[in-house]
Amino acid sequence: MATRKWSPEELQAVTRLAKQWGKIVVQHAFGEQGPGLDVDFAHMEEVACAAAQGLTEGALEAATAQQGQLLGDKQPCPHCGKLCEVGSAERPLRAKGGVVALREPKCYCPTCRRAFFPSASGVEAGRAWLQSDDDAPHPVRDGRSQIA
C-alpha cells in the first residue's frame, strides 16, 4: 500500500483530470448550449462550488470505503485482543471542501461489550478507538484534528 505523499506533479495531473469534469458539470447544469446571457458569473461560480464540493465528498467517500475493505472480516479488539467481526457505520466527517459521509469500519467486542472502530485511514492514524455501549451519534469531527 502506498503511504508516500503525492508529488506536486502528480497532484497537478489529478487537478487537470478534474478540470475536464468541469466541462461535464457545465453541460449538465446549463445544457448543451451552456449558460445563456442571463447567467452572471456569481451564478456560474455557485454551480462550480457545488460541483467541487460534490467531487470532494464523492472522492473521499469512495476512497475511504475501498480502504475500509482492506481490513478484512475480523479485527482484534484494542482492549482484549479478541478477533471481532468487521461491520460498518456511517459517520459525518468535516474535510476540506465538504462534509463526508464516511462508511467506516465498526466492530463490536462481545467480551468487552463495546464497539470499536479499526481504521486504516491516516485520519485516524491507524488506531482503533472504543465507543461506550450507549452508541451515541458521532459529532462531526475535523479530519485534520488529533484524536484524543
- The verdict on 13 binding Zn ion (CB under 5 A) reads no
Paired residues of 88 in beta bridges? 105
Task: For residues 115 and 118, give the distance between their C-alpha atoms in angstroms, rounded to a whole number.
Answer: 10
Cβ 46 to Zn ion shortest distance, Å: 49
Q: C-alpha 1: how far from its chain's center?
A: 18
**Are 119 and 127 in contact, with CB atoms under 8 Å apart?**
yes
Residue nearest to Zn ion as judged by C-beta position: 77
- The verdict on 109 binding Zn ion (CB under 5 A) reads yes
Nearer to Zn ion, 77 or 102 (CB): 77
Task: For residues 19 and 84, give the distance between their C-alpha atoms in angstroms, rounded to a whole number.
Answer: 43
The residues in 53-92 that bind Zn ion, with binding defined as CB under 5 A, are: 77, 79-80, 82
Q: Which of 69, 111, 129, 142 binds Zn ion (CB under 5 A)?
A: 111
Cβ 148 to Zn ion shortest distance, Å: 20
Kindly determine how many residues on this chain lie close enough to bind Zn ion according to the rule CB under 5 A. Answer: 7
Compute the half-sphere exposure of residue 6: CA atoms within 13 Å on the CB side of its CA.
8
The three state secondary structure string of 6-23 is CCHHHHHHHHHHHHHHHH
Cβ 71 to Zn ion shortest distance, Å: 16
- The verdict on 115 binding Zn ion (CB under 5 A) reads no
**Are 109 and 77 in contact, with CB atoms under 8 Å apart?**
yes
Cβ 79 to Zn ion shortest distance, Å: 4
Q: Which of 65, 71, 112, 120 binds Zn ion (CB under 5 A)?
A: 112
Residues that bind Zn ion (CB under 5 A): 77, 79-80, 82, 109, 111-112
